[in-house]
Amino acid sequence: MIINKFVVARIPKVHCFLFPFFLFFLISYSLSSFGQTAEAEKNFTQCKACHTIGGGRLVGPDLKGVTSKYPQSWLIKFIQNSQNLIKSGDKNAVKVFNEYNKIPMPSHNLTDAQVKDILLYIKNGGKLPAGVSVKKAPIKTAVATTQQVNQEDRYFEQQRKGSRNLTISAIVFGILLLLSIFDLLFSHYLKSKWIHYVIILSALWILGEWSWDFTTGLGRQQNYQPDQPIWFSHKVHAGQNQINCQYCHFTVETSMHAGIPPASVCMNCHSQVKEGKRTGKKEIAKIYAAIKEKKPIQWVKVDNLPDFVYFNHSQHVKVGKINCTECHGDVAKMDQVAEVHELSMGWCLDCHRKHKVQFRSNKFYAEYKKLHEELRAGKIDKVTVKMIGGEDCAKCHY
Amino acid sequence: MEKKYWQSLEIYDEIVKNSVSNKESMPEFSIDGLDETEIKGKSSRRDFLKMMGFSVGAVALVSSCQMPVRKAIPLLNRPQELIPGVPNYYATTFFDGDEYCSILVKTRESRPIKIEGNDLSQISQRGTSAKVQASVLNLYDDVRLKGPVKGGNQNNWKTIDAEIKGKLEILKNDDKEVVLMTSTIISPTTRKLIDEFVIAYPNVKWIQYDSLPMSAMRKANKINFEKDTIPYYHFENADVMVGFNADFLGTWLMPVTFSKQFSKGRKLKDGQTKMSRLYQFETNMSLTGSNADYRYQIKPSEEASVLLKLYNILAEKTGNVVYNTTEVKTDVSKVAKDLLNSKGKSLVVSGTNDTKIQLMVNAINSLLDNYGKTIDLNTAVNLKQGVESDIMLAISGMQSGKVGGVLFYNVNPVYDCVHKDKLTKALKNLPLKVSFATTMDETALLCDYVCPDNNYLESWNDAEPINGFYSFTQPTIRPIFDTRQFQESLLRWMDSDQSFSDYLEKNWEAIFFPKQKTFNSFDKFWFKCKKDGVYNIASEEQSQPVFKGGKLKAEKPKIGALELALYENISIGTGRYSNNPWLQEMPDPVTTATWDNYVTVSPAFAKAQGLQQEDVVKINDSLELPVLIQPGQTEETIGIALGYGRSNAGKVGDGVGKNVYGLINISTGLKNLLGTPVTLEKTSKTYSLALTQTHHVMEGRPIVRETVLSSFIKDPTSGNEEHVKFLKDENFSLYPDPKFNAFQWGLSVDLNSCTGCSNCVISCQAENNVAVVGKDQVKLGRIMQWIRIDRYYSEMSDNPEVFHMPVMCLQCDNAPCENVCPVAALSHSDEGLSQVTYNRCIGTRYCMNNCPYKVRRFNWYEFVNNNKFDYNLNSDLGKLVLNPDVTVRQRGVVEKCNSCEQRIQEKKLLAKSENRELRDGEILTACQQNCPTDAIQFGNLLDKGSNVSRTNDTGRMYHLLESLHTLPSQSYLTKVRNKKA
């Protein structure tokens, strides 16, 4: 077994930063052209968590007119890494920082061009100019309607029902099996023996299927939907507010763990947003309590893998460019997150067999010369994970 | 002529009798130690029913169980540099009072789990030793004190500080001396702090105490050069090296540095054909001796005469004064000739702590013009500053009542001082006794107060092991317990609220920062120092001091008397780490013994005395130890390792072996390990030793291959003719040809560089969560370490040639283990690795049977949370050292080396996420990374330009048992000895 629980961290006294601030990783796609692009709107979704354009003060200042208030070069510096600017003693930066309750703005991994792009977007009042269209937002914009919620629920309900039906029929057939054997041997109620045989055979079939289903399911938790210590809704955060997954799960591209956000990340917004529409003050107050009592929030892990499996998020999300939803389902529609897939080895391998590797775009794969040749020659049309060793045991078990 | 290789004396005897039979060699596994029922193997019908009922019950239980609820607990406030799942490395310094090493510490989720060498250090050069590797486990030792102790009970710092300060004040006013006894301190800032402490309390007298000092060398240099220093050696510049009882590759002064230097002069890479030569004169078979080209056996009392004889020949040839000496039988003319031929490129060292001998060594080096070339007197080594007379003075002061208090820091004299009885008695009546020990050791037990020091991985410090070369210690974890650094305790008692980290920083800002010109701000400078872990201040070239000789005199060698040669072994050393199970279970590279010390005797002596291996003998009518017959041991001498027989080390180290510090020779006033006259008497008892020697016998097939330098120059494939033959032969195989897409991982071990130091064994153990099994299991051949270092002897049994050969899984492409697995738990990866899937293994052990190299290990027991194996895996604290990337194996599962698959995957992922190709040499296996001789290379065999391919591309490469056509990916390079054919 791997002992991989998160150790309650002791903070090394090595590089002491005055303010713990948080890296904020973004998928930064290259710009297709200069000037304002559709990407600006996408990038601005990060900003929306704390800012509005003309909608008044939120966690951070209203951004309307910010482009004329400060020089562009200063804005770029501040957006990329506000703490550096504050530390260097820049008067404007310190002023803004103090004015907004000393909540550090997370540093953003944006290029100069991307920031300029966003600034243009802000200047336009948060609208895209004509002709530029949104290609595809990482999370589908969806105002959650009651109907959709029901759909989600129905999905899980169906799954549960499916297994329940099988159990019921297994019990029924089990009884039938016993009855027919009894009748066959002792009571002889039914005269034609072929009925017994049909019943026995079909009962064995059903029982076999049920036990297969049961035993392979041992240790699996599909549809597992535990109650969390805080009634936190992904539907509200990721769905309605469209906060990017990586705003909270910010280590997904750098680490094997996607990362459960520290309470301080919650505080980026919830230092201002103190009341929820559905839960009132009760749930949000639990964050404040955790910080006050210095007791980390004990979330319940939903997607569990056995200890002898090594799984790395960054391998899949950053290198494999797999969308979070492929394994975790459409979290943006779930109030309480559930395990959507069975997370079995067969399920992993199915994907490894089908999924294409970023073979041409990632220079790492240049080493696979033979496969490149075959691709060029047209002998194969794609390189799947399986073809580069994705079925090897020791890729995940060591 | 074909050489006969042998591993144990029994086998040797059989070779001599010309009747070596495979049948009689030791069985791989014996049934000794098994339960009666296990041996009988009977199981009745009732047992069957019981098992049946149990299984049904278990299934019912499992099916009714819920999956456990697992929590994911994030940090409240994440420090910026901490990303869960991503290791952080901190550069810091290992210094325990004896050994220095600059290291990088790998931390996961803020806990240190692995030590790597620091490649920026010019001293340790990315090398480490087994002790350094194992030191991370000391951090998680249950025996560590959890807080300050007063009179045996835990107390708080406030009370203890107040009381100690009060007592110090009283002693100051009474004008009673307080002895501050520390180990050698190489930290300039700590030295400054101690000086300030002495100013605050002028009655404090600071002395440095080493368990094994090198004061004779300092004295000799004082006489010859007026410099009370230990010089820095350059073994890499020497063509001819002569060692006298100096185990410089194993334990003497700076073994890691010297191993690096030594191996540099002996690499036969990229067409190089020059190789240095090592002559070793010694009593015990040491690691250095086992690597010598020519080895001579001398008795301790003969050393002076042999040295003088050598001096006389050299002096005669160079026209210098010759001194009278007693004739000894050892022939040194060849050595003398060789030394003269490489004047200025030679080096003579002696590890004997005897001024007379050190004076001779100096005289010889001076005759050979070595100063300034292979010996640098201007770059002083600051290790081993202890002087024996200091502790004598202190003890007599305590006895007379002049001394009123004593503070012990990082020393344990009650255990390892020759005068420990006097000291124990003198301590009784002292008003103030304070220890800074991290555990309740023998000395701390006698103290009123114990103010536990932090582990070095929780501390701030600096170090100056060699003049001008600085090194930094920074914490890699917050103190786990309520402990406080020694330095901070001193600061508190000086009424200062400053933390030692501030003190250190201020000191560097004031003293060292102005000396450099590269950085204009101190913050940047300090950041750089902490980041690199090392900082060098270039010293100006000075001419070496002039040699002033004197008369040399050697006493007559004793004849007929039995002489004792104590030694420090490579794992336990001075006994500081007795409670470290990794080190206790590390086989000694020469004797392959674990978990004990013993008396080594020569085969001839054993025969004459009628001694058998494991017979218990009585030394000086008091000490009972088992006998180990050691080929190469000098006639009429015996050897015993120090560092054993601790009584207060902790549950692992207590009562292991016997304490022999009392047998140190102090006839000259200095602590000399050699030459105590002893008596030896056979008893009727026997005591079994846990040797790894006769497991894994390879049935007399050609395993190690060797040649001599002259033949190698003529033909690089000399000694490796079998490989040439193998390549010429047509080999048919029923297996399909192995196919690889992009990578075929290969590892090569250069037998010419490997010294057998066993650093890789512990490095692998730490990296791969390898369990400790204890002495009883080792005896049954169930040691779990994934690398074993086979030791073979050849030639004569009284002075054999020795081979060290690390064997890990060879990752065969036609792996015999894989196709016998009934459950397909073993498979071959498309990168050439033989994979084990632990969760699939059902423990039939067919694979172990079918592996010709015997590299697979079986988990006979559950080693985690099992009170029968009460080592680090049985404690919550000890488990923090586990590498979270590697599965901890459970009972009934076979495991083996997997070429550090986790490291391969990590670096591949890094390259992918940085969108670049994988660089050669980027992946370092745990055994390779810190190897002090760079004997191991790892890389992609498909890339002809890779380091490992180029290393293999010499005539020296061969595979182990290649005639079996298992096609291993791991290869070996022939050993080349620099001696006459």
Q: Give CA–CA dist B793/B693, Å, rounded.
A: 11
pLDDT at A53: 80
Contact between B77 and A262 using a beta-carbon 8 Å cutoff: yes
pLDDT at A149: 46
Contact between A14 and B90 using a beta-carbon 8 Å cutoff: yes
Domain at A38-123: CATH code:
1.10.760.10
Residues in chain B with CB shorter than 8 Å from the CB of A12 are: 79, 88, 90, 107, 110, 475-478
Q: Which among B77, B122, B127 is positioned nearest to B255, based on CA atoms?
A: B127
Break chain B into its structural domains and give their ranges.
Answer: 5-21+695-977, 244-375, 563-691
Contact between A308 and B915 using a beta-carbon 8 Å cutoff: no
Contact between B913 and A226 using a beta-carbon 8 Å cutoff: no
Contact between A6 and B109 using a beta-carbon 8 Å cutoff: yes
Instruction: Over range A85-111, report the average pLDDT.
Output: 74
Distance from CA of B557 to the nearest CA of A (A): 57
10 Å CB burial of residue A95 (0-12, 13-18, 19+) is: exposed
Residues in chain A with CB shorter than 8 Å from the CB of B917 are: 363-364, 366-367
pLDDT at B43: 61
Contact between B912 and A261 using a beta-carbon 8 Å cutoff: no
Residues in chain A with CB shorter than 8 Å from the CB of B922 are: none
Question: Are the C-beta atoms of residues B671 and B212 closer than 8 Å to each other?
Answer: yes
SS (H, E, C) B178-202: EEEEECCCCCHHHHHHHHHHHHHCC
Residues A359, A360, A362: CA angle, nearest 5 degrees: 75
Question: Are the C-beta atoms of residues B272 and B247 closer than 8 Å to each other?
Answer: no
Distance from CA of B598 to the nearest CA of A (A): 38
Residues in chain A with CB shorter than 8 Å from the CB of B81 are: 14-15
How far is Cα of residue A128 from the mean position of the Cα atoms in its chain?
28
Residues in chain A with CB shorter than 8 Å from the CB of B88 are: 12
Buried/exposed B133-170: b ≥16 CB within 10 Å, e otherwise: bbbbbbbbbbbbbebbbbeeeeeebeebbeebeebbee
Contact between A264 and B83 using a beta-carbon 8 Å cutoff: no
SS (H, E, C) A176-212: HHHHHHHHHHHHCCCCCHHHHHHHHHHHHHHHHHHHH
Contact between B109 and A224 using a beta-carbon 8 Å cutoff: no
- B830 closest CB neighbour out of A255, A299, A392: A392
pLDDT at B6: 67
- B837 closest CB neighbour out of A20, A370, A397: A397
Contact between B475 and A394 using a beta-carbon 8 Å cutoff: no
Locate the chain A residue with the closest alpha carbon to B839: A308
Instruction: Count CB atoms within 10 A of the CB of residue B919.
Output: 11
Distance from CA of B80 to the nearest CA of A (A): 6
Q: Give CA–CA dist B588/B789, Å, rounded.
A: 9
pLDDT at A10: 33
Both tokens of residue B250? 């194993």
Both tokens of residue B659? 């304490």
Q: Tell which of B59, B61, B80 to mutate to test the A interface (max A CBs under 10 Å).
A: B80
Which helix (H) or strand (E) covers residue B913, if one does? helix B901-913
Question: pLDDT, tens digit, for every residue of B486-527?
Answer: 999 999 999 999 999 999 999 999 988 888 888 889 999 999
- A262 closest CB neighbour out of B78, B86, B887: B78
- B84 closest CB neighbour out of A224, A255, A393: A255
Locate the chain B residue with the closest alpha carbon to A307: B887
> The pTM is what?
0.84
- B917 closest CB neighbour out of A255, A295, A363: A363
Question: pLDDT, tens digit, for every residue of A253-291?
Answer: 899 998 899 888 888 888 888 888 888 888 888 999 998
Contact between A397 and B885 using a beta-carbon 8 Å cutoff: no
**Residues of chain B below pLDDT 50:** 1, 19-31, 695-698
Break chain A into its structural domains and give their ranges.
Answer: 38-123, 146-217, 344-398
Which helix (H) or strand (E) covers residue B504, if one does? helix B500-507
pLDDT at A247: 87
- B73 closest CB neighbour out of A254, A296, A319: A296
pLDDT at B953: 86
Question: pLDDT, tens digit, for every residue of A35-59?
Answer: 456 677 777 766 776 777 877 676 6
Residues in chain A with CB shorter than 8 Å from the CB of B886 are: 2, 398
pLDDT at A144: 39
Residues in chain B with CB shorter than 8 Å from the CB of A8 are: 73
pLDDT at B62: 57
pLDDT at A142: 39
Which helix (H) or strand (E) covers residue B398, if one does? helix B388-400
Which of these ranges, A182-191, A252-261, A348-357, has the smallest mean pLDDT?
A182-191
Contact between A11 and B880 using a beta-carbon 8 Å cutoff: no
CATH architecture for residues B5-21+695-977: 2-Layer Sandwich (3.30)
Beta-bridge partner residues of B566: B640
What ipTM was estimated for this complex?
Answer: 0.82
Residues in chain A with CB shorter than 8 Å from the CB of B829 are: 389, 392-395
Contact between B78 and A291 using a beta-carbon 8 Å cutoff: no
- B76 closest CB neighbour out of A251, A291, A304: A291
Contact between A9 and B75 using a beta-carbon 8 Å cutoff: yes
Distance from CA of A207 to the nearest CA of B (A): 16
Question: Are the C-beta atoms of residues B379 and B371 closer than 8 Å to each other?
Answer: no
Give one DSSP letter per residue of B428-455, joined into a string.
HT-SEEEE--SB--HHHHT-SEE-PPPP
Residues in chain A with CB shorter than 8 Å from the CB of B64 are: none
pLDDT at A194: 87
CATH 3.40.630.10 for domain B563-691, yes or no, is no
* Phi-psi map region of B573: left, alpha, beta (phi>0 left; psi -120 to 50 alpha): left
- B918 closest CB neighbour out of A367, A387, A397: A367
